């Protein structure tokens, strides 16, 4: 069974940084592309970033480009999101999600990031 | 960037009724790279449909997807109490510009 567990969220001031982690189990981690998706309180889903299985392809939404960095460690079955220069509108629940046939087949339960002074 | 517009915003129906949810794209979606997700309160989204019409593993056959090009539909043939949730469509593919629709809330009438 696919299991994804996010961590690292919390309260941070505007302009600050956080690093999110997602630890995976139940599947061959190094064979799957992964994404970060976020959801602001009471709002819809917003794709944030994508990384291919071997980290050769990386993409970001325009809203986070230049501020967020996605990475993975296949030896540790882990996905990361380094978030710098955080803004109020980055406040959201951040999910990691696996990709299969393009669609997002597995999701974690999310970690909450709150940007506020 | 392809914009996905879902309608209606809210759909009020009773258990046993048929639900029809729409997702319209601002440009043609190639290869029918269109997915549908269900999200219940306090839960992560769950993949229902990919490739516009293929059911994901474990999804009941009362859920079906159809459409191509710019117009897509999710149909729930006979609503069960557990189907009342928010539904999102998503465009995916080789492009990095993955987008979601704004969602349709399916509520009990």
Please tell me the predicted confidence (pLDDT) of residue A101.
84
User: In this structure, how many other beta carbons lie within 10 angstroms of the beta carbon of residue A40?
Assistant: 13
Please tell me the predicted confidence (pLDDT) of residue B27.
92
B9 has pLDDT over 70? yes
Best to test chain A binding among B44, B55, B89, B95 (most A CBs inside 10 Å):
B44
| Residues of chain A with C-beta less than 8 angstroms from the C-beta of B45 | 45, 95, 104, 107
Do the Cβ atoms of A23 and A109 come closer than 8 Å?
A: no
Residue B13 tokens, joined: 């129906």
Q: Could you give the CA distance from residue B75 to residue A28 in angstroms, rounded to a whole number?
A: 33
Over residues A65-92, the mean pLDDT reads: 98
Best to test chain A binding among B98, B100, B104 (most A CBs inside 10 Å):
B98
Residue A80 tokens, joined: 């990361």
Nearest residue of B to residue A110, measured between CA atoms: B44
Over residues B38-59, the mean pLDDT reads: 96
| Cα–Cα separations (whole angstroms), residue B2 to A52, A60, B5 | 22, 15, 10
| Residues of chain B with C-beta less than 8 angstroms from the C-beta of A99 | 92
Instruction: Flag if A110 and B35 touch (Cβ within 8 Å).
Output: no
Q: What confidence category does residue B95 fall into, taking pLDDT thresholds of 50, 70 and 90?
A: low
Q: A38 to chain B, minimum CA–CA distance in Å?
A: 11
A102 has pLDDT over 90? no
Q: Could you give the CA distance from residue B48 to residue B23 in angstroms, rounded to a whole number?
A: 14
Instruction: Flag if A102 and B35 touch (Cβ within 8 Å).
Output: yes
| Cα–Cα separations (whole angstroms), residue B6 to A9, A39, A64, B28, B73 | 30, 17, 25, 15, 10
Do the Cβ atoms of A78 and A3 come closer than 8 Å?
A: no
Q: What confidence category does residue B97 fall into, taking pLDDT thresholds of 50, 70 and 90?
A: confident
Mean pLDDT for all residues in chain A: 96
Q: What confidence category does residue B36 fall into, taking pLDDT thresholds of 50, 70 and 90?
A: very high
Over residues B13-24, the mean pLDDT reads: 98
Q: pLDDT above 70 covers what percent of chain A?
A: 100
Q: For strand B104-108 and strand B10-13, is the pairing parallel, antiparallel, or unpaired?
A: parallel
Ranges of H-type helices in chain A = none
Q: Which residue has the tokens 């602001």?
A: A40
| Angle, CA B97 vertex, CA B41 and CA B106 arms, to 5° | 25
Q: Annotate B29-59 with b (16+ C-beta within 10 A) or e (fewer).
A: beebbbbbbbbeeeebbbbbbbbbbebbeeb
Please tell me the predicted confidence (pLDDT) of residue B96.
60
Q: Could you give the CA distance from residue A41 to residue A6 in angstroms, rounded to a whole number?
A: 17
């Amino acid at each position: 069974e696919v299991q994804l567990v996010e961590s690292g969220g919390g309260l941070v001031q505007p302009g600050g940084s956080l690093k999110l982690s997602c630890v995976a189990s139940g599947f061959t981690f190094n064979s799957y592309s992964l994404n970060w998706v976020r959801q602001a309180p009471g709002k819809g889903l917003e794709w944030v970033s994508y990384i291919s299985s071997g980290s050769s392809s990386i993409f970001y939404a325009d809203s986070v480009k230049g501020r967020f960095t996605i990475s993975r460690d296949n030896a540790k079955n882990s996905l990361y999101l380094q978030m710098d220069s955080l803004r109020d509108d980055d406040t959201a629940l951040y999910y990691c999600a696996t990709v299969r046939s393009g669609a997002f087949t597995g999701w974690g339960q999310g970690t909450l990031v709150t940007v506020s002074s | 960037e392809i914009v996905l517009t879902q309608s209606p915003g809210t759909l009020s129906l009773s258990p046993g009724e048929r639900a029809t949810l729409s997702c319209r794209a601002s440009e043609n979606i190639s290869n029918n790279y269109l997915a549908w997700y269900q999200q219940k309160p306090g839960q992560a989204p769950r993949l229902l449909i990919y490739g516009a019409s293929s059911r994901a593993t474990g999804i009941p056959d009362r859920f079906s997807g159809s459409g191509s090009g710019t117009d897509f539909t999710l149909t729930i043939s006979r609503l069960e109490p557990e189907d009342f949730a928010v539904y999102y469509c998503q465009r995916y593919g080789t492009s990095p510009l993955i987008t979601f629709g704004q969602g349709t809330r399916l509520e009990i009438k």
